[in-house]
Structure 1
Amino acid sequence: MAFILDQTKSIANHFLAELRDAQIQQDSMRFRRNMERLGEIFAYEISKTMRFTEREFETSLGTASVQVMNELPVLATILRAGLPLHQGLLNYFDRADSAFISAYRKTTKGHNFIIKIEYISAPSLDDKILVVADPMIATGESMVLCCKELLAQYKIKELHIVGVIACKVGIEHIKANLPKAKLWIGSVDEELTTKSYIVPGLGDAGDLSFGVKE
C-alpha cells in the first residue's frame, strides 16, 4: 500500500511547494515548520487506519459517546533530517513513545556508498505499531536497512513508513524488501543522480533544517 499525498488537491501541496522553493528554503525556520506541518497531516491520515473503540465521556451537560484510538504508535526517525517531520507526527500522536536511529552514508573509494547505522535508541517495539519517518527516500536503502534492523530485534505488529519526497526507485526497493509496510509519501520524483540524490527533490533536508554540516 502506498498513499501519495499530492495526488489529492489540498493545503499539503502548498507546504510541499514551499519546501521545494529555493527562495523560501533560505528561511530554515519556515522549512522546518513546513516539514512539521506535513508530519501533522501524515499523522492525521495514518490515524484513519488505526483501530478505535467507542467510549463515553461526561461533559458538564451530559454524556457523549466518542470513538477513541485503542493504542498509540511508536514514532521513529532517522537523525538528523527527520527531526522536524518527527515533531509533526508527535504533535498529533502527542502521548506516543519515540525511537531514534543514527545512520549515515559512508562513501567508498569508488565513490559508491554504503549505509552505516551508528546506534538505535528505542523503547520495546514488541506488538507495537511503528511509524518510521525520513524526509527523503532516494534509493530506499537507508530506510530498508533501519527497518530490517528493528524487525530483527522486535516483533513489530504493523509498520508505517513516512517520506516527504521519494524517488520511484526507492519506493520499489521498499516494496520489494518490506512488502508488509504501509507507505505514506508526499510526492514522487522520477530521477535519481549518480550520487543518489533525488531530482528535482528539494536538496539536503538536514542542511536546510539545521545548517550545512562539515
Structure 2
Amino acid sequence: MHIHNLSEDNSILNTFISELRDVNIQKDSMRFRRNIERIGEVLSYEMSKSFKFKNQEITTPLAKTTVKTIDSDVVLCSILRAGVPLHNGLLNYFDKAENAFISAYRHHKENPDTFEIVVEYLACPSLEGKTLVLADPMVATGQSLLATYEALKPFGTPKEIHLAAVIGAQEGVDFAAKHFPENTHLWIATVDKDLNNKGYIVPGLGDAGDLAFGQKLQH
C-alpha cells in the first residue's frame, strides 16, 4: 500500500486537525463537520495529482485552448454516518463522481471490549474499471474499511482504489496495508500511535459520529 500521511508536511491542514481534537472547539458540531469537510477537500486535491489526465479543448471568450482534465470515472463510497462530512468534502472537488453509501458499525456482544463489524445498508453503482475512493474518517482497527471493501466486491473490480481518512492509528493503517491490494493508496491527514483497550484511537478526537451528529443509542 502507498501511504500518504499529509501531516508529515506543515500546512493549514494541521490547523483543521487541531480544532477537531480540541475538546473546547469540537463542541461546536457545525464547526466540527466543516473541519472534516475541509480535510476532505485537502485530501481530494492531493489525491487528484495521482489520477490519470487527458487533454481537452475548450473555448474561452477570446480563443480556443487546451487544458488537462481528470480522465477517471470516480466513485466515492463513504461509511455512514461519520463519513458524511468527509464525503461532502470529497464531492466538493470530485463533483462529477458517482456515489455509494454503506453502513458499517461496531456491534458489541457480551464483552464491551470486543466487537464485530456489521454491514446492513449498501447502495452502490458498478465499480468495474473505475476509480474507487473509499472514505472513513477514523481508521482505528481498520476492520470497518476491510468489511466495506469485502461488501463492495460484488459490484465489480475497480481499476484503482484510494482510501481517504482523517485520523488513523498505526495498527489500523498496518492492518489495511496487509489486507488491501498492494497498489492501493491511503490518503490520511494524520496517524496516531496507539489504540486503547476499547479500540479507540489515542490521542484521537473521540467519537467522530457523535461529535458531528449527536449521541446515539447503542445496539
State if a TM-score over 0.5 links the two structures. yes
1:213 aligns with 2:216: yes
SS at match of 2:144: helix
Aligned residues of 2:109 and 2:115 also touching (Cα < 8 A): yes
Q: Aligned runs of 1:103-114 on 2, under 5 Å?
A: 103-111=104-112, 112-114=114-116
1:197 to 197, 200, 208: 200
Aligned-pair Cα RMSD in Å? 1.0
Q: Distance in 2 between matches of 1:176 and 1:89?
A: 25
TM-score by length of 1: 0.97
Equivalent residue number for residue 54 of structure 2: 53
Segment of structure 1 superposing worse, 58-67 or 21-30? 58-67
Structure 1 stretches lacking a partner, 5+ long = none
Q: Aligned runs of 1:22-33 on 2, under 5 Å?
A: 22-33=23-34
1:180 is displaced (CA, Å) by 3.0
Deviations 1:109-130 (A, max 9, x none): 1331001100211011111100
Percent sequence identity over matched residues?
A: 49
Aligned residues of 1:72 and 1:93 also touching (Cα < 8 A): no
- Supply the AA of the counterpart residue of 1:182: H
Alignment coverage as a number of residue pairs: 214
Q: Aligned runs of 1:42-191 on 2, under 5 Å?
A: 42-111=43-112, 112-178=114-180, 179-191=182-194
Aligned residues of 1:163 and 1:185 also touching (Cα < 8 A): yes
Deviations 1:1-59 (A, max 9, x none): 00001111111111111111110001100000000001011111111011111122111
TM-score by length of 2: 0.95
SS at match of 2:76: strand
- Supply the AA of the counterpart residue of 1:192: L
Deviations 1:156-214 (A, max 9, x none): 11110111000000001001000332101111111101110000000000000011112
- Supply the AA of the counterpart residue of 2:177: K
Aligned residues of 2:125 and 2:155 also touching (Cα < 8 A): no
1:72 is displaced (CA, Å) by 3.5
Deviation >2 Å, runs of 4+: none
Deviations 1:72-98 (A, max 9, x none): 410000000000000000001011111
- Supply the AA of the counterpart residue of 2:187: W
Q: Distance in 2 between matches of 1:146 and 1:4?
A: 22
Q: Distance in 1 between matches of 2:203 and 2:72?
A: 38
SS at match of 1:213: coil
1:64 is displaced (CA, Å) by 1.5
Structure 2 stretches lacking a partner, 5+ long = none
1:60 is displaced (CA, Å) by 1.1
